[in-house]
Structure 1
Amino acid sequence: MSNSRSAPPALVVAPLVDAHIHPDKTSWGGPWMSRLPADSLPALIANDLATQRGYGRSLEERAFALLSAALRSGTLAMRAHVDVSSELGTANVEGVRAAAERLAPALTVQIVAFPQFGLLTNPGTIEAMAASLDAGADLVGGIDPLGLEGDVAGHLDAVFGLAERAGRDLDIHLHDGGEPGLAQIGEIAARTVAAGMQGRVTVSHAFALAEASAPTLLDTLDRVAAARLWITTCALGPDPVPDLALLAEHGVQLAVGSDGVRDSWSPFGTGSMVDRTHLLAYRTGAITDAELEHCYRLASTEGGRMLGIPDIADWSGSSSDTRLEFVAESIAQLVVDRPEPSRVIRAGREVHHRTP
């Protein structure tokens, strides 16, 4: 008699969504790249620009390699933040869009025109941002109105104005912490309501929302919920991660992303949202099945709601023709063990099958 145990039945789950990724920066699929030290955001940004200029492989090739790996790992939709500046023009947007088109319709890619190198402080970038919306970008981006730009009102005037004129949604990077960060989030919430853009504005990272002792935290969370802002977190190594239960208690909408993957900012990242969900669970102290399942939901159907992807946001269960299949007993085990999907299916078409 054989002592071998039969494999667990296939676990069918909702597809994954990467709500925040930077595919134009990646070195994925290339040789090892040593990183330079940096002790500030401006230093990291300077390293990033130098690295992008030094790549020998085309941006489309690098982005396609990363997006392909993400698709194989079960990511069927992503929001890609792509650099736009006076130096780069719209080239990065065009490169990522070309890579994404090679994987459509299996992978849905929303591109954010991201002024990484400054908007007001980098003349010509506003014009490049506007041009990028005709070159393949879907959303308007922003970055640290106070910490990087030093002009909260001017920066928000520019990005909200561009979004409203173009009829596009908005996604703003906000690394600033403490009360200054919370004040900016509150101002973004107020402008969102004033513009009638509830549900169409995202604050990425929003590190200030992780500061439990901040006097205005709870009020800010209520303002975020009232404006129906989306928040994204990436559970990065040293970076703050919000209290998931507290945000849920206040009705704050949250999704999860990878951020940078093997770029000048960090040697880490795999492009797998299974891995990222595991990191989120680990960073937030998830122990119970319910907590682990909550982390998976943030990386799947909640991301689908944020991006407005019906076959993910409104996932109908194991009978859906868009689904992932894993060899696992439960979602909780899946989050902990991080297996690769055995099958990835979009709209009834198998887009990936892992050979045992």
Structure 2
Amino acid sequence: MPMDHAQLSQGESLLLTSGFVDAHIHPDKTTWGADWLSRPPAHTLSDLIGNDLKAQLSFQDAVEDRAYSLMRQAVLNGTMAMRAHVDVGTQIGLQNIHGVRAAAERLAPLLDVQIVAFPQFGLLSNPGTLELLEAALAEGADLVGGIDPVSVDGDLHGHLDAVFGLANKHGRDLDIHLHDAGPEGLAQVRAIAQRTLAEGLQGRVTIGHAFAVCDPAQPELGATLDAMAEAGMWMATCALGADPVPALDLMESHGVRVALGSDGVRDSWSPFGTGSMLDRAHLLGYRTGALTDEELERCFRMATAAGAELVGSAAVNGFSGHGSDDRLEFAANSIPELVVDRPAPLRIVRSGRTVSLPA
């Protein structure tokens, strides 16, 4: 467990931990630091995507400024690395990629940022987006993203041909949003696993949300999880609102690795979110019914070590205790207590220096 502790005065314990990793966040969509956004009702994924586009086109604050506000908040809550999904499409071009990359550069070296070029508004179903996705890889994006090959794009194999083709051509990893549930969603997961093995991308493909694998009642779930494990695929879950969450014991028993993220924070999709991965670990524990110390520690691990393995964060992976140059310091007696109480860090240390950011 990535922790160490020493005694404070008056019997209070100082708990030292590694930093957090946000494995799935959308900083380009946020309204953090901007005016309040009133959200219209949304009953389907199509509604949510449509509302999102309208909101983005109406924002008065630049992508860089909004993204920086949220990413700064994440740093001050102890996040040291994140995987940022950033919209690319004919409706907005590459402006979001440029804005988030600029915000990330303002926070270097305090925050390591991977950017996923994400076709939120469709890939094949939104002609011109595939070319923009490829252009994004040359202009600030690190990974190739995908979204619901069936329900959004209407072409499972065509979508996979496109995203795996880009990943292979440019030597990039893949991270695919998959909201589809039930047997159809599981079939898409298995198809992605098969393609991952066929393309030699084991360990380099992540599925975000993967609601289909969160339903233990599905007859094909076990076979699907085994296929994911064989392909070394990751799942990123966010424990947000009413969205399904995975049965963590089941994921572990099948060898599927799970990391934790924030998803959207104060954007058109949701008014909630704090930019704190400790809050998110708390929510994951609450949503999955964590009771034991081991279960609470697992939630913390998914917000730290698991995410660090996914994104390759040396700062978080390198934590070794009291002498670590990259660490968080909390007033807490244990990791389970930390996850339940969610205190702000007393101190954040990067490269041996206390982190301080101007307002």
Question: Shorter-normalised TM-score: what interval?
Answer: over 0.9
Q: Please tell me whether residue 163 in structure 1 is matched to residue 163 in structure 2.
A: no
> Which one of the candidate residues 57, 60, 68 is aligned to 2:61?
57
SS of 1:102's partner is: helix
Aligned pair 1:122/2:111, yes or no? no
In structure 2, distance between residues paired with 1:313 and 1:253 = 16
CA distance in 2, matches of 1:113, 1:287: 38
- TM-score for both structures, normalised by structure 1: 0.96
Q: Distance in 1 between matches of 2:313 and 2:199?
A: 23
Question: Shift of residue 314 of structure 1?
Answer: 4.3
2:101 equivalent to 1:97: yes
- SS across alignment from 2:225: helix
Match of 1:265 in 2: 269
Provide the residue aligned with 1:37 in structure 2: 41
Match of 2:22 in 1: 18
> Does the CA-based 8 Å contact 2:80-2:315 persist in structure 1?
no
Letter in 2 for 1:62: R
Q: 1:302 aligns with which of 289, 306, 311?
A: 306
Alignment match of 1:9 (pick from 2, 8, 13): 13
Q: Deviations over 1:114-168 (max 9, x none)?
A: 0000000101000100100111000000000011111100000000001110110
Q: Say yes or no: does 1:275 pair with 2:279.
A: yes
**Given the alignment of the two structures, is residue 233 of structure 1 paired with residue 237 of structure 2, yes or no?**
yes
From 109, 115, 119, give the equivalent of 2:113: 109
1:208-227 paired onto structure 2 within 5 Å:
208-227=212-231
Q: CA shift at 1:352, angstroms?
A: 4.0
CA deviation string 1:223-258 (max 9, x = no partner) = 101100010000011110000111011111110000
Instruction: Please give the residue correspondences for 1:324-339 in structure 2 after superposition, counting only pairs within 5 Å.
Output: 324-339=328-343
Secondary structure of the corresponding residue to residue 10 of structure 2 = coil
Q: TM-score, normalised by structure 2?
A: 0.95
3-state SS of the aligned residue for 1:254?
strand
Displacement after TM superposition at 1:8 (Å):
1.5
Distance in 1 separating the partners of 2:135 and 2:11 = 53
Find the aligned partners of 2:348 and 2:191 in 1 and give their Cα distance: 41
Runs of 4+ displaced beyond 4 Å:
none
Residue identity opposite 2:16 in structure 1: V
**Structure 2 letter corresponding to 1:207:** F
The unaligned stretches of length 5 or more in structure 1 are none
Q: Distance in 2 between matches of 1:341 and 1:7?
A: 18
- Give how far 1:348 is off: 1.3
State the alpha-carbon separation in 1 of the partners of residues 243 and 340 from structure 2: 21
The whole-number CA distance in structure 2 between the counterparts of 1:168 and 1:316 is 30
Query: Does the CA-based 8 Å contact 2:208-2:235 persist in structure 1?
Result: yes
Counterpart of 2:138 in 1: which secondary structure? coil
Alpha-carbon contact 1:7-1:327 (below 8 Å) kept: no
- Residue number in structure 1 paired with 2:4: none
Mapping of residues 242-253 of structure 1, within 5 Å: 242-253=246-257
Distance 2:54 2:179 in 1: 22
- The structural deviation recorded for 1:313 is 2.7
Secondary structure of the residue that 1:162 maps to in structure 2? Answer: helix
- In structure 1, what is the equivalent of residue 6 of structure 2? none
Counterpart of 2:51 in structure 1 is: 47
Q: Which residue of 2 aligns with 1:147?
A: 151
Inter-partner Cα distance in structure 1 for 2:237 and 2:253: 17
Alpha-carbon deviation of 1:9?
2.3
**Counterpart amino acid of 1:343?**
R
Question: What is the CA distance between 1:346 and its match in structure 2?
Answer: 1.6
* Alignment map for 1:305-316 (pairs within 5 Å): 305-316=309-320
Amino acid at match of 2:259: A
Q: Match of 1:110, SS?
A: strand
Q: 1:81 aligns to what?
A: 85
Measure how far apart 1:319 and its partner are.
2.7
Residue 355 of structure 2 aligns to a residue whose secondary structure is strand
User: CA shift at 1:62, angstroms?
Assistant: 0.4
Cα offset, 1:349, TM superposition: 2.0
Counterpart in the other structure of 2:351: 347
User: What value does the CA root-mean-square deviation take over the aligned residues?
Assistant: 1.1
How far does residue 345 in structure 1 lie from its aligned partner after superposition?
A: 1.2
Amino acid in the other structure paired with 2:90: S
For 1:133, the equivalent position in structure 2 comes to 137
How many pairs does the alignment contain? 349
Residue 149 to residue 75, structure 1, CA distance change in 2 (3 Å): same
